[in-house]
Homo-oligomer: A and B are copies of this chain.
Amino acid sequence: MPQHSTSGSPSSKPFGRLLLTGASGNLGRQLRGALAHWADHVRVSDIAALGEAAPHEELCPADLADRAAVTHMVEGVDAIVHLGGISIDAPFDDLIEANIRGTYNLYEAARKHSVKRVVFASSNHVTGFHPVTSVLDAEADHRPDSLYGVTKSFGESLSRYYYDRFGIETVCLRIGSSFEEPKNARMLVTFLSYGDFIELVRCSLFANRVGHAVVYGVSDNPASWWNNAKAGFLGYRPRDSSAPYAARFPATAPNADLADPAQLFQGGPFVLGEPMEKVAR
């Protein structure tokens, strides 16, 4: 059961209680602090260690595949930022538990507890098999580049169902590459600064109505594969860019190997992965 902080004091923050799943991951750690500005209480959850709770925080360790645990985790929250699950390619049996059963558990819990807004960490890998010479928007067809991408595509479909059927709004963030800095030439295109990531979550939580929205999580980089014009209602305006890092990956003559899928498709090296066998299941 979630460890509620005892807070009876009056509050001027917009949300009473927000839930952050995947709080111990790369992006969860970035966001955890920011949520304090938006909610009186922040419930943080992960299957990994969560560290110390800040005064406004409730620690809620949980396995997303555990339905009962997830149901309890969601109780009493106003909105959810769902970063939890597996965020790289993995054996499909693992992906089923974390990203398929886990996401289902989360939405079922939201339905039972009347939570009306979810910010869902989807991924650019939902559309990673589009060529790098296309510019996509929210209506691009799903072409996942990996089993991981397939499970994120599933999450988007599932959340669409919960919106159409039960009115639970979701913003699907097709996150590019969110790190401290771009790590390679591809990330000059896909870079999402931590600051812009936080801003995008803020817009997704506070926009008055979002319906079922899809938006690419990307900074204002010079080159882009993605166009967010159709999500203009969110008010997301990136402030950062990969441009300052361009010199680290100096321009070269284009790779002559035109048949290299990792160069041809937006998913980059993901498109070369293969389904993995789970070891010692």
- Residues of chain B contacted by A164 (CB below 8 angstroms): 129, 143, 145, 271
- Taking A132-B208, A224-B235 as known contacts, 19 extra A-B pairs with beta carbons closer than 8 A to each other, sorted by chain A number, are A14-B253, A79-B253, A96-B100, A96-B101, A116-B258, A133-B209, A135-B229, A135-B232, A144-B160, A145-B165, A149-B161, A153-B153, A157-B157, A164-B271, A189-B235, A208-B263, A210-B254, A223-B233, A225-B232
> Across the interface, do A185 and B211 meet the contact criterion of CB distance under 8 Å?
no
Q: Which residues of B contact A167 (CB under 8 A)?
A: 258
Query: Which one of B15, B100, B132, B142 contacts A209 once the chains associate, using CB atoms below 8 Å?
Result: B132
Interchain residue pairs with CB less than 8 A apart (18):
A16-B253, A92-B108, A104-B147, A116-B258, A132-B209, A133-B209, A133-B211, A133-B233, A142-B142, A143-B164, A145-B165, A150-B154, A164-B271, A185-B208, A206-B254, A208-B255, A209-B263, A229-B229
**List of B residues within 8 angstroms of A205 by Cβ:** 253-254
Q: How far is the CB of A221 from chain B (nearest CB, A)?
A: 8
| Bound CA–CA A206/B233 (angstroms) | 31
Query: Most B CB atoms within 10 A — which of A111, A147, A150, A189?
Result: A150
User: Smallest distance from the beta carbon of A193 to chain B beta carbons, Å?
Assistant: 17
Are the C-beta atoms of A108 and B225 separated by less than 8 Å? no
